[in-house]
Amino acid sequence: MASRNHHVRGMESSVRRLSNLGSEEENDSLIFVKTSDNGIVVVLVYVDNIVITGNNLSRINTLKYHLSKAFDIKDLGKLRYFLGIEIASSQKGLFLSQRKYVLDLLRETGKLGVKPGSVPMDYSSKFTTNDTLLQDQVSLVVIYLTITRPDIAFAVSYVSQFMQAPTEGHMELVEHILQYLKSSPGRGILMQKNGHTKIEGYTDADCASNPTDRRSTTGLCTFVGGNIVTWKSKKQNVVARSSVEAKYRAMASAASEIVWLRLLLKELGCDSSSCPTNLFCDNQRTTRIASNPVFHERTKRIEVYNHFVRENVQDKTIETPYVRSEDKLADIFTKASQKGSFQDMINKLTFDDIFAPT
């Protein structure tokens, strides 16, 4: 393993040295960028896998030539498969899915023939500490599917909290997720070229939603150029004493995500510093706290989050406009939804299924 790590570090350093990629302030340690008057070259390095892209074919070929001299590499041509993610390109854009992974998982668990489900988690699901513990530990790796499946993010995040002592009820939830995956194994993210690189964020929180410890759930998602690029469903670390506090903690998480995206896009040559990024929230008290310093003394228990969001509002990095509850796209990451509202929500997340029958 030591020699493999040495090989990987050597490849990363060679990418920097041979092509003079990277910058003093890197926002992603796996991405190396070289910009010039002739165009841009971007390299993504993950262990011994490399993806090279850009708008200067000559520089890309030069980089591949130098890497082939230093390492035994194989050029697989146009990107079609990377770290379990299937990539299909067309005039519409790039389509990212994990169809093979889903089918393999259903096959290994004997669920290929199950009845398809309409939602990943039943809206009425209730779990208590009195449920019967599983006698045999069952390991189902569904968490990696959230890379291209934001529609199962909440259900997977919820069931993952009970991995140490799963009950029969939790196993039923996992089977429910598998039934839902059976209904659309090829569903994924469609990255379209919409003519802009505008960043938008949505944030929400379900206050005291966890029945075990009454912690709230943070939900957020961000869009670049009209395409969803990041999302999160996570139980908060502490108990919030009000819905405003829970939503403000979620807003701080989303603001941090937006700051990182803006810096990353700047490295890639898409500077958006001229205008603030909209971070939508459906709670008017929360948006007022972010923009009105009068509220600061009354919200000391969230002072750290308050200052972070407030500073980004003052710097015009973000704006916090109000959004109607029916338009809050982050809601799907905070709770289980009924079939109708769930389908309406995922249709707004630039989802598609190129394998679905027409």
- The structural domains of the chain, ordered by start, are 2-77 (3.30.310), 96-186 (no CATH), 194-323 (3.30.420.10)
C-alpha dist (Å) from residue 255 to 261, 282, 292, 332, 334:
10, 15, 17, 19, 17
pLDDT confidence of residue 99: 95
What is the SS3 assignment for 74?
A: coil
Closest CA to 7 of 72, 82, 100, 89: 72
Closest CA to 111 of 171, 158, 189: 171
C-alpha dist (Å) from residue 244 to 249, 304, 307, 358:
9, 15, 15, 44
Distance between CA 85 and CA 77 in Å, rounded?
16
**Which two three-digit tokens encode residue 267?**
């490295």
Radius of gyration of the chain measured on its C-alpha atoms: 22
Print pLDDT tens along the chain (358 aa).
333 344 445 545 544 544 455 444 456 778 899 888 888 999 999 888 899 999 989 999 999 999 899 888 889 999 999 988 999 998 888 999 999 999 999 998 888 999 999 999 887 666 555 667 665 555 567 888 999 999 999 999 988 888 777 777 788 888 899 999 999 999 999 999 898 999 999 999 998 887 778 899 999 999 999 999 999 999 998 888 888 889 888 999 999 999 999 999 988 888 877 899 999 998 888 887 777 655 555 555 566 677 788 889 888 999 999 888 778 889 999 988 888 888 888 888 888 888 877 6
Task: Kindly give the residue spans of alpha helices, DSSP state H, lying in the chain.
Answer: 2-19, 57-70, 99-108, 153-160, 168-183, 243-267, 284-291, 303-314, 339-346
Distance between CA 305 and CA 244 in Å, rounded?
12
Neighbours of 130 (CB within 10 A): 7
pLDDT confidence of residue 286: 81
Closest CA to 272 of 323, 201, 180, 197: 197
**Which two three-digit tokens encode residue 23?**
């910058």
Size of the chain in residues: 358
Closest CA to 67 of 3, 26, 12: 12
Distance between CA 176 and CA 115 in Å, rounded?
10
Phi first, then psi: what are they for 233, rounded to 5°?
-135, 110
C-alpha dist (Å) from residue 90 to 93, 191, 354:
5, 10, 11
Distance between CA 319 and CA 198 in Å, rounded?
13
Handedness of CA 29, 32, 36, 40 (dihedral sign): negative
Neighbours of 107 (CB within 10 A): 10
Walk across the sheet containing 39-46 and list its strands.
31-36, 39-46, 49-54
Distance between CA 232 and CA 150 in Å, rounded?
8
C-alpha dist (Å) from residue 131 to 158, 159, 161, 175:
16, 14, 15, 16
Does residue 216 contact residue 206 with C-beta atoms inside 8 Å?
yes
Handedness of CA 14, 20, 23, 28 (dihedral sign): negative
The phi-psi region of residue 60 (left if phi > 0; otherwise alpha if psi is between -120 and 50; otherwise beta) is alpha
Distance between CA 300 and CA 313 in Å, rounded?
18
Beta pairing partners, 199:
224
